[in-house]
Structure 1
């Protein structure tokens, strides 16, 4: 179904000449903040859950900064910025969440959601800054981050939960439409961008770098992290599987969304996202089977 949404976006671009840039802006400034405000208020943040968010945020940020420094001498500035952004994230929401809901019990799904939140916060803070630095000054990049409402949605949700406030039922009912909208538009925008791509945008060097980071580095780090946590803290099987799943999802659709908002080569990002998404149904079972065996969960 997710790939069907990509195809629908491609048709909209080719046949209806729909411009995906306003949709990218809508996702960043309206749909994403309300989606995550709803999820946080329903999930009930606890110190343990927020530690998961902080850990994934820090991991994603460090990976992106490291890859960005390695990429700058090799790739043009804008491509290096897209690669750095994509290195720190994955399709943990649109693609990974439905898998988590199948594989994990309710407690595991909640833990996965707070891992997902850490990745998302990275995307709209450190990741957005690294992407903006591909063509903006430090001051301009910071100003763009301060304009992102997802940061304030996160703080508002923490305030609501911390003070024990109750969001009116009518408001929560109204927010129910946003998670589905987030998934639909997020995948369609990949297809809309691909509808504008020409064959000269197919850059094997750039795509190869994206694939190595997403399907090479991240699964390795996820496996090592689970083994380390098992040896030190003795984490549950549900949390271990949630962390492994974060490591094996394809590239994030938000790579295209952010690249389009900042006008930094969204076409190249869209091709890489599509290829890793097409490979995911084949690779995820293989990766999970291997990692579960390695970590003793199978």
Structure 2
């Protein structure tokens, strides 16, 4: 029950964004918030997460394992996407969105509810791995609809989150201390990033109509996120890693969270059917509420 209540703030801020767009339909431009989030607050979130705890084995191994699992599933999707979708834009959305979970806005508070405050360093670093996947692979698949391969790669390099991640790893590795007042400002910016993303999602949901939801693509994406990715993750974690049971449980939980709101940000940034992407995130989030109890029981069963 505590785990369910822990996600209520997430839905509160989504509803807040939905209500704001309904009241101020023509006065609020959601793309402005997308740009502010992507280029200002998310780099702060990345830097904060990567400097939160010193580097140790689990701190490095858990995000690497996460990326291995996601990249393995990406290879499977690359082999299947043309058989599932005939439209290239739908293929791009499928590849860009289906493996990107809400590891920050939802994963961090859910981790606290299930595993305690000690889980925050691990959920944060896994969230950073997820963000790196977004900024490299998801950005490429979204951008390729408008740009050539060279231009798509260049658009990736323009995303500041990548450079902030590298700088944060350097600061952490060199054990450079951060002034407590600066760290407080970073923490404020990190949580602001999470709130803004949820509000953006709510604003895009306002324009999603039940009759126009792309059910086929949304359910295909949800199958990957809620069935394929967790199953592959459990197999790899149990058989090919030596993570302790605590960190392994956190990793599997992060693989089970619904689609990330950040998917909507990038779809809007590159004009790649953002309302369809918002609908897919909505359906995934609704399914997660239904699956949450079973996910918790699976984690308890497989990770002793």
Q: Same fold (TM over 0.5)?
A: yes
State yes or no: 1:30 paired with 2:40: yes
Q: Considering only aligned residues, what root-mean-square deviation do their CA atoms show, in Å?
A: 1.9
The question of whether the paired residues in 2 share the 8 Å contact of 1:223 and 1:291 is answered with no
Q: Distance in 2 between matches of 1:204 and 1:80?
A: 15
| Unpaired segments ≥5 residues, structure 1 | none
The question of whether the paired residues in 1 share the 8 Å contact of 2:49 and 2:121 is answered with no
The question of whether the paired residues in 1 share the 8 Å contact of 2:249 and 2:303 is answered with no
Residue in 2 that maps onto 1:7:
15
Q: Distance in 2 between matches of 1:124 and 1:296?
A: 31
2:250 corresponds, among 242, 261, 271, to 242
2:146 corresponds, among 132, 135, 139, to 135
- Residue range with higher mean Cα deviation, 25-34 or 106-115: 106-115
SS in structure 1 of the partner of residue 208 of structure 2: coil
Residue in 2 that maps onto 1:201:
212
SS in structure 2 of the partner of residue 176 of structure 1: helix
Q: Distance in 1 between matches of 2:82 and 2:146?
A: 13
State yes or no: 1:126 paired with 2:137: yes
Residue in 1 that maps onto 2:63:
53
The question of whether the paired residues in 1 share the 8 Å contact of 2:258 and 2:285 is answered with yes
TM-score calculated relative to the size of structure 2: 0.89
The question of whether the paired residues in 1 share the 8 Å contact of 2:69 and 2:236 is answered with no
2:174 corresponds, among 143, 159, 163, to 163
Deviations 1:22-49 (A, max 9, x none): 1111111111111110121122233542
| Unpaired segments ≥5 residues, structure 2 | 1-8
The question of whether the paired residues in 2 share the 8 Å contact of 1:222 and 1:246 is answered with no
Q: Do the aligned partners of residues 296 and 119 (structure 1) sit closer, same or farther apart at CA in structure 2, a change above 3 Å counting?
A: closer
- Count of residues paired in the alignment: 293
SS in structure 1 of the partner of residue 170 of structure 2: helix
1:87 Cα offset (Å): 2.1
Residue in 1 that maps onto 2:298:
290
Q: Do the aligned partners of residues 93 and 247 (structure 1) sit closer, same or farther apart at CA in structure 2, a change above 3 Å counting?
A: same
Residue in 1 that maps onto 2:225:
214
State yes or no: 1:254 paired with 2:265: no
Residue in 1 that maps onto 2:3:
none
Deviations 1:47-69 (A, max 9, x none): 54223223322332342343244
1:82 Cα offset (Å): 1.5
Q: Distance in 1 between matches of 2:186 and 2:227?
A: 37
The question of whether the paired residues in 1 share the 8 Å contact of 2:73 and 2:232 is answered with no
SS in structure 1 of the partner of residue 128 of structure 2: helix
State yes or no: 1:41 paired with 2:27: no
TM-score calculated relative to the size of structure 1: 0.91
Q: Distance in 2 between matches of 1:13 and 1:75?
A: 33
The question of whether the paired residues in 2 share the 8 Å contact of 1:5 and 1:187 is answered with yes
Q: Distance in 2 between matches of 1:75 and 1:62?
A: 23
- Residue range with higher mean Cα deviation, 104-113 or 166-175: 104-113
Residue in 2 that maps onto 1:67:
77
